[in-house]
């Protein structure tokens, strides 16, 4: 290329004006070329280096024009590319799941994607509107973010933007210009409402998982443990790390065979779950019962992904169930079988005996006068005596025999496989002998004897009820014969047992059928031999059986509770009668009425007495109530208040059968009692037995020292009267003076007494 | 792949802006080949000033430019823009 400066040949010959015009044209061309080159971004031409001829020859404007064509075409391409890129970006923004809003420095919206338009802006007309106008609720949150961005010019995130019931994880990203000035901010809002709900649910579930009382095992589809909770650890003794990745079969107790587990997994596969009881084994080797519920967790396509097993340790329930079972069939005091279990065993034994043509025996055992001990020494001592008695009885039996406690002081024994009734007699003798030695209980040396009745299968009965009933009847017979003995059942006894039942039924009607009577026995002032009062005694005139002795029907009345209405009748009748006599005879001071323990127990005795006094119009000072020593001392604490309340009414109280039970002198002092009645058993031999005389003398002295009067019961001879009078006894009662007589006869006695000249 | 045709314009020892005009003329002539990717236009120059002016102009015209320093001179490589535009790195890569 030759760029040497060469003058244009024609110019030298050209006229001056043309030359000037030429130079001006050249200058113009140079200027315009320089201008165009500068626009293109490059430098002007150097006039010194490029002479005019070369300049023209090069055709610079042509070159530049051509280059400009290229520039224009390039600009067009770039514009197309930019338009494409802009659309592309909008499409990308629209295709993302989150809402994106771009704002300028004035927080005015300059762009938003489709999701934002739908979920946040709710409008197509959002461009250049302030963000705060649209997102009013969330104003605080994004304004804080914007301020922070303005400060730091770095990305800001917040996970807690709440807007229109949705939670958003929001990221604000700054866009800066080339000088680093904040130009725009891109807000992207990811809706995390669902995730938050899931998280909340998971948090809740994890609290449940760890805080339930049930053990939980979660396994994968291959039945490898992937999670257990704390209660599982407590229940089984295995730590989490020890079981993760293992099979739940490490809990296997070995108490179930393969078919058990096969059936279980078959159930799970078919129904998705299984529930039942099984035995597992703790880490320390102890097997324990669990209630287990296994559920299969399925993927959407129905294939199992996990198994969840919930374990409830039911060993405590099982134990208490066992205890309940025990209680249902045993007496809690002596731990012996109870009536229910005994009856079941006896029933079973009867069937076996029938089939094998064998004999069996039922022995009914009742402890003699146990009630006295219970009443006088209290239930605690009584209970201990029962336990000790049960032990003595049990010690003499074979393991195959059954002994049960029926309640109270009643025991019953079943002897199976008996060949010879003599063997039973031998056993009963041994049982009696076992009670010869006294029981030592809480510093008390107690002596008690059993009475026993025996019935035999099949001779005396072939079913439970008959055998027990007949053994009971035989036992009563033994009691009647003087206690501390045994009796075999006889058919005569059966008749008597039936009589007893008949008697009970009759007694229920006796009151309404007006079969009850009161007889009166006078009480005599020993110093002058005159009647001062009477004891009312109950009699029953049965239309067919004739008079029935009180010792036969009163215990029956007490047992059945009939004593309460009967007692009221007695009280009212006696009071009415006494009212008449008191009115007529000034020397007749009072009527004594016996009160049974049963009447005390109801808690209504005081109001009853008060009512009867009102009905009869008898003054309280003319009424005396008699209570037996054994009852009074047995229930001392409970009785004191009632006795005081009775005394408040103004009546007097006496202790009956004194000397037969155990009296506490402390209580005797506290009781508001006016009289002691020496029991007839001491009076009977008082003239012949120095011991009885000593007792009578002591009772009289004791009573007097406590300001009580003494009544001697059962005086039959003048000698007895003389001796007791000599010892200072105040009042007397007995056949020597009069047997108990009906009211009319007693009225005659009173009339005679009056005639003696009072 | 077919080898690119390299058109070399050696301007060493010469002074612009005549060089510039010649370069522009050549670019105009060769634009189809270069923009089509069949050719590259290399300028060898020892004028440092040209390493600024030539790239500024040809970028506006829609070419990719690379300036390489070689022994005693510069090689300005003008080629087709790949990816539709001149990468920023290419512009930044210019020597100061």
All domains in chain B, ordered by first residue: 5-91 (3.30.110.40)
Give contacts of A46 with chain B, Cβ < 8 Å: 15-17
How buried is residue A325: exposed, middle or buried, by Cβ count under 10 Å (0-12/13-18/19+)?
A: exposed
Bridge partner list, B10: B44
Q: Which two tokens stand for residue B29?
A: 């002539």
Give contacts of B85 with chain A, Cβ < 8 Å: 78, 81
What whole-number distance in Å separates Cα of residue A452 and Cα of residue A410? 10
What whole-number distance in Å separates Cα of residue A278 and Cα of residue A634? 53
A178 against A723, higher pLDDT: A723
User: Which of B10, B16, B18 best tests the A interface by mutation, with the highest count of A CBs <10 A?
Assistant: B18
DSSP helix/strand/coil, A676: strand
* Residue A433 confidence (pLDDT) above 70: yes
pLDDT for the residue numbered B15: 58
Rounded alpha-carbon distances, angstroms, from residue B96 to A136, B65, B91: 51, 15, 11
- Whose tokens are 């967790």? That residue is A297
> pLDDT-derived band of residue A120, with 50, 70 and 90 as boundaries?
confident
pLDDT for the residue numbered A77: 87
Give contacts of B17 with chain A, Cβ < 8 Å: 37, 42-46, 49-50
Provide the terminal-to-terminal Cα distance of chain B, rounded to the nearest Å.
35
My answer on whether omega of the bond before A92 falls inside 30° of 0, hence cis, is no
DSSP helix/strand/coil, A294: strand
> pLDDT-derived band of residue B2, with 50, 70 and 90 as boundaries?
low
Supply the angle between the helices A379-395 and A370-377 in degrees, to the nearest 10: 140
In which element (H, E) is residue A404 found? strand A402-407
For residue B20, the distance in angstroms to the closest alpha carbon of chain A comes to 9
What whole-number distance in Å separates Cα of residue A215 and Cα of residue A230? 7
My answer on whether omega of the bond before B17 falls inside 30° of 0, hence cis, is yes
Bridge partner list, B45: B74
Closest CA to A331 of A411, A450, A239, A260: A411
pLDDT for the residue numbered A323: 84
A74·B60 Cβ contact <8 A:
yes
**Which of B18, B27, B53 is opposite residue A42, by nearest beta carbon?**
B53
Question: Which residue from B minimizes the CA distance to A62?
Answer: B25
Give contacts of B18 with chain A, Cβ < 8 Å: 3, 45, 49-50, 54, 58
Question: Which residue from B minimizes the CA distance to A37?
Answer: B57
DSSP codes joined into one string, A419-478: --HHHHHHHHHHHHHHTTSPEEETTEEE---EEEEEEEETTT-SSHHHHHHHHHHHHHHH
Least confident piece of the model among A37-46, A409-418, A577-586:
A37-46
B60·A63 Cβ contact <8 A:
no
pLDDT for the residue numbered A370: 87
Q: Which two tokens stand for residue A195?
A: 């995730």
CB distance from A41 to chain B under 8 Å?
Answer: yes
> pLDDT-derived band of residue A2, with 50, 70 and 90 as boundaries?
very low
A67·B61 Cβ contact <8 A:
yes
Give contacts of A37 with chain B, Cβ < 8 Å: 17, 20, 57
Give contacts of A50 with chain B, Cβ < 8 Å: 17-18
What whole-number distance in Å separates Cα of residue A1 and Cα of residue A10? 23
CB distance from A194 to chain B under 8 Å?
Answer: no
The b/e string for A269-282 (b: 16+ C-beta within 10 A; e otherwise) is eeeeebeeebebbb
User: Which of B8, B16, B17, B55 best tests the A interface by mutation, with the highest count of A CBs <10 A?
Assistant: B17
What whole-number distance in Å separates Cα of residue A468 and Cα of residue A364? 7
Closest CA to A455 of A483, A482, A415, A495: A415
Residue pair A447/A438 in contact (Cβ under 8 Å)? The answer is: yes
Q: What is the pLDDT of residues A644-702, one digit of tens each?
A: 888 899 999 999 888 777 777 777 888 888 999 998 888 999 999 999 899 899 999 99
User: Which of B11, B19, B24 best tests the A interface by mutation, with the highest count of A CBs <10 A?
Assistant: B24
3-state per-residue secondary structure call for A572-601: HHHHHHHHHHHHHCCCCCEEEEECCHHHHH
What whole-number distance in Å separates Cα of residue B38 and Cα of residue A709? 151
Say what the ipTM of the complex is. Answer: 0.80
For residue B17, the distance in angstroms to the closest alpha carbon of chain A comes to 5
What whole-number distance in Å separates Cα of residue A365 and Cα of residue A474? 10
User: Which of A39, A56, A67, A84 best tests the B interface by mutation, with the highest count of B CBs <10 A?
Assistant: A67
How buried is residue A358: exposed, middle or buried, by Cβ count under 10 Å (0-12/13-18/19+)?
A: middle
B31·A50 Cβ contact <8 A:
no
* Residue A416 confidence (pLDDT) above 60: yes
Residue pair A109/A128 in contact (Cβ under 8 Å)? The answer is: yes
Chain-centroid distance of CA B30 in Å reads 12
Give contacts of A85 with chain B, Cβ < 8 Å: none
For residue B71, the distance in angstroms to the closest alpha carbon of chain A comes to 24
Q: What angle do CA A401, A402, A406 make, to 5 degrees?
A: 155
What whole-number distance in Å separates Cα of residue A462 and Cα of residue A443? 45
Give contacts of A71 with chain B, Cβ < 8 Å: 60-62
Give contacts of B21 with chain A, Cβ < 8 Å: 45, 58, 60, 63
What whole-number distance in Å separates Cα of residue A139 and Cα of residue A169? 15
Mean pLDDT of A579-601: 90
What whole-number distance in Å separates Cα of residue A298 and Cα of residue A307? 9
Q: A587: number of CA atoms within 13 Å, CB side?
A: 19
Q: Which two tokens stand for residue B88?
A: 């920023």
**Which of A3, A44, A63 is opposite residue B24, by nearest beta carbon?**
A63
DSSP codes joined into one string, A166-204: EEEEEEEEEEE-TTS-EEEEEEEEEE-HHHHHHHHHHHH
CB pairs under 8 A between A and B: 78
**Which of B14, B16, B31 is opposite residue A70, by nearest beta carbon?**
B31
What whole-number distance in Å separates Cα of residue A467 and Cα of residue A362? 7
Mean pLDDT of A357-375: 88
**Which of A45, A46, A63 is opposite residue B25, by nearest beta carbon?**
A63
Q: What is the pLDDT of residues A226-252, one digit of tens each?
A: 999 999 999 999 999 999 999 998 898
Residue pair A713/A681 in contact (Cβ under 8 Å)? The answer is: no
Mean pLDDT of A571-597: 93
Percentage above 90 pLDDT, chain A: 43
pLDDT for the residue numbered A362: 95
Give contacts of A63 with chain B, Cβ < 8 Å: 21, 24-25, 28
Closest CA to A454 of A420, A428, A419: A428
B22 against A221, higher pLDDT: A221
* Residue B27 confidence (pLDDT) above 80: yes
Q: Which two tokens stand for residue A222?
A: 């291959």
pLDDT for the residue numbered B95: 37
Q: What is the pLDDT of residues A278-291, one digit of tens each?
A: 999 999 988 899 99
Residue pair A168/A194 in contact (Cβ under 8 Å)? The answer is: no
pLDDT for the residue numbered A651: 93
* Residue B16 confidence (pLDDT) above 70: no
* Residue A436 confidence (pLDDT) above 80: yes
pLDDT for the residue numbered A32: 87
CB distance from A56 to chain B under 8 Å?
Answer: no
Mean pLDDT of A60-70: 87
Q: Which two tokens stand for residue A29?
A: 């061309």
DSSP A757: T
Give contacts of A64 with chain B, Cβ < 8 Å: 24
What whole-number distance in Å separates Cα of residue A756 and Cα of residue A317? 82
Give contacts of B53 with chain A, Cβ < 8 Å: 41-43
> pLDDT-derived band of residue A544, with 50, 70 and 90 as boundaries?
confident
* Residue B90 confidence (pLDDT) above 50: no
A37·B59 Cβ contact <8 A:
no
Q: What angle do CA A438, A443, A447 make, to 5 degrees?
A: 20
CB distance from A418 to chain B under 8 Å?
Answer: no
A190 against A638, higher pLDDT: A190
Bridge partner list, A712: A678, A732
> pLDDT-derived band of residue A139, with 50, 70 and 90 as boundaries?
low
Chain-centroid distance of CA A479 in Å reads 46
What whole-number distance in Å separates Cα of residue A393 and Cα of residue A411? 9
* Residue A419 confidence (pLDDT) above 80: no
- Whose tokens are 């725009």? That residue is A184
CB distance from A511 to chain B under 8 Å?
Answer: no
Give contacts of B60 with chain A, Cβ < 8 Å: 40-41, 71, 74
> pLDDT-derived band of residue A6, with 50, 70 and 90 as boundaries?
very low
Q: What is the pLDDT of residues A461-518, one digit of tens each?
A: 999 999 999 999 899 888 877 788 888 888 776 666 667 777 888 888 888 888 999 9
For residue B67, the distance in angstroms to the closest alpha carbon of chain A comes to 16
Give contacts of B27 with chain A, Cβ < 8 Å: 67, 70
Q: What share of chain B is helix, strand, coil (3-state, %, to 5)?
A: 40, 30, 35
Question: Which residue from A minimizes the CA distance to B49?
Answer: A43
DSSP codes joined into one string, A79-111: HHHHHHHHHHHHHHHHHSSSEEEEEETTSBEEE
What whole-number distance in Å separates Cα of residue A536 and Cα of residue A523? 11
Taking the model in full, what pTM does it have? 0.40
For residue A42, the distance in angstroms to the closest alpha carbon of chain B comes to 4
* Residue B91 confidence (pLDDT) above 80: no
**Which of A44, A63, A73 is opposite residue B62, by nearest beta carbon?**
A73
**Which of B22, B49, B84 is opposite residue A81, by nearest beta carbon?**
B84
Question: Which residue from A minimizes the CA distance to B23?
Answer: A63
Please state whether beta strands A439-441 and A450-457 pair in parallel, antiparallel, or not at all (unpaired). unpaired
In which element (H, E) is residue A226 found? strand A225-228
**Which of B49, B56, B62 is opposite residue A70, by nearest beta carbon?**
B62
Q: What is the pLDDT of residues A191-230, one digit of tens each?
A: 888 888 898 888 988 888 888 889 999 999 999 999 999 9
CB distance from A43 to chain B under 8 Å?
Answer: yes
CA torsion sign, A687 to A689 to A690 to A691? negative
CB distance from A78 to chain B under 8 Å?
Answer: yes
Q: What angle do CA A516, A518, A523 make, to 5 degrees?
A: 160
Give the residue numbers in B contacting A (CB under 8 Å), as ranges: 14-18, 20-22, 24-25, 27-28, 31, 49, 53-54, 56-57, 59-62, 84-85
* Residue B96 confidence (pLDDT) above 60: no
DSSP helix/strand/coil, A159: strand
């Amino acid at each position: 290329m030759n760029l040497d400066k060469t003058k244009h040949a024609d110019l030298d010959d050209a006229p001056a004006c043309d030359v000037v015009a030429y130079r001006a044209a050249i200058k113009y061309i140079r200027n315009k070329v320089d201008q165009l080159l500068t626009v293109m971004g490059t430098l002007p031409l150097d006039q010194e280096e490029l002479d005019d001829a070369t300049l023209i020859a090069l055709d610079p404007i042509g070159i530049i024009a051509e280059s400009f064509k290229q520039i224009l075409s390039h600009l067009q391409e770039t514009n197309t590319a930019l338009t494409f890129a802009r659309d592309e970006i909008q499409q990308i923004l629209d295709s993302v799941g989150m809402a994106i809003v771009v704002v300028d420095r004035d927080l005015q919206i300059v762009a938003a994607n489709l999701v934002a338009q739908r979920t946040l802006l709710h409008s197509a007309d959002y461009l250049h509107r302030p963000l705060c106008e649209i997102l009013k609720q969330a104003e605080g949150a994004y304004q804080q973010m914007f301020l922070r961005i303005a400060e730091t010019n770095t990305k800001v995130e917040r996970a807690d933007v709440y807007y229109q019931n949705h939670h958003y994880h929001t990221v604000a990203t700054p866009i800066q210009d080339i000088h680093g000035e904040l130009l725009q901010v891109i807000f992207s809002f990811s809706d995390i409402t669902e995730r938050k709900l899931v998280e909340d649910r998971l948090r809740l579930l994890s609290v449940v998982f760890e805080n339930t009382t049930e053990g939980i095992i979660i396994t994968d589809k291959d039945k490898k443990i992937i999670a257990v909770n704390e209660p599982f650890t407590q229940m089984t003794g295995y730590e989490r790390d020890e079981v993760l990745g293992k099979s739940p079969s490490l809990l296997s107790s070995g108490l179930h065979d393969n078919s058990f587990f096969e059936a279980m997994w078959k159930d799970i596969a078919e129904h998705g779950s299984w529930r039942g009881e099984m035995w597992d084994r703790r880490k320390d080797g102890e097997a324990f019962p669990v209630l287990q519920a296994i559920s299969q967790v399925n993927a959407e396509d129905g294939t199992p992904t996990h198994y969840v097993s919930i374990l409830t340790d039911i060993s405590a329930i099982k134990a208490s169930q066992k205890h309940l079972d025990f209680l249902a069939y045993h007496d809690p005091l002596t731990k012996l079988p109870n009536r229910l279990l005994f009856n079941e065993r006896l029933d079973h034994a009867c069937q076996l005996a029938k089939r094998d043509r064998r004999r069996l025996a039922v022995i009914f055992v009742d402890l003699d006068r146990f009630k006295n001990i219970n009443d006088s020494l209290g239930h605690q001592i009584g209970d201990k005596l029962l336990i000790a008695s049960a032990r003595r009885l049990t010690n003499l039996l074979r393991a195959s025999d059954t002994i049960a406690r029926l309640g109270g002081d009643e025991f019953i024994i079943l002897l199976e496989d008996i060949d010879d009734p003599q063997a039973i007699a031998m056993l009963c003798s041994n049982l009696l002998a076992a009670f010869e030695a006294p029981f030592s209980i809480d510093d008390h040396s107690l002596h008690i004897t059993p009475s026993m009745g025996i019935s035999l299968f099949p001779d005396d009965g072939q079913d439970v009820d008959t055998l027990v009933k007949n053994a009971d009847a035989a036992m009563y017979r033994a009691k009647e014969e003087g206690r501390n003995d045994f009796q075999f059942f006889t058919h005569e006894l059966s008749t008597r047992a039936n009589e007893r039942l008949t008697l009970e039924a009759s007694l229920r009607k006796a009151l309404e059928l007006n079969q009850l009577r009161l007889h009166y026995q006078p009480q005599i002032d020993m110093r002058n031999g005159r009647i001062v009062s009477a004891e009312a005694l109950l009699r029953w005139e049965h239309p067919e059986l004739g008079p029935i002795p009180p010792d036969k029907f009163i215990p029956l009345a007490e047992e059945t509770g009939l004593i309460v209405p009967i007692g009221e009748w007695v009280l009212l009748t006696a009071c009415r009668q006494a009212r008449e006599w008191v009115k007529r005879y000034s020397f007749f001071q009072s009527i004594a009425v016996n009160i049974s323990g049963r009447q005390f127990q109801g808690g209504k005795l005081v109001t009853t007495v008060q009512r009867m006094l009102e009905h009869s119009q008898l003054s309280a000072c003319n009424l005396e109530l008699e209570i037996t020593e054994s009852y009074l001392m047995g229930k001392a604490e409970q009785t004191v208040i009632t006795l005081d309340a009775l005394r408040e009414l103004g009546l007097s109280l006496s202790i009956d059968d004194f000397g037969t039970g155990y009296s506490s002198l402390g209580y005797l002092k506290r009781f508001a009692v006016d009289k002691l009645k020496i029991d007839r058993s001491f009076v009977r031999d008082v003239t012949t037995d120095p011991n009885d005389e000593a007792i009578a003398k002591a009772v009289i002295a004791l009573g007097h020292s406590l300001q009580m009067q003494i009544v001697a019961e059962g005086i039959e001879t003048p000698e007895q009267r003389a001796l007791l009078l000599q010892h200072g006894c105040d009042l007397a009662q007995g056949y020597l003076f009069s047997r108990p007589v009906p009211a009319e006869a007693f009225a005659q006695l009173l009339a005679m007494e009056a005639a003696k000249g009072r | 792949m077919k080898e690119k045709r390299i058109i070399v314009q050696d301007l060493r020892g010469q002074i612009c802006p005549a060089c510039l005009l010649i370069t522009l003329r050549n670019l105009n002539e060769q634009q189809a080949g270069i923009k089509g990717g069949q050719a590259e236009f290399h300028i060898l120059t020892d004028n440092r000033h040209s390493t600024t002016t030539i790239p500024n102009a040809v970028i506006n015209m829609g070419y990719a430019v690379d300036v390489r320093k070689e022994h005693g001179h510069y090689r300005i490589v003008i080629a087709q823009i790949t990816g539709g535009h001149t990468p920023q790195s290419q512009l930044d890569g210019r020597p100061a």
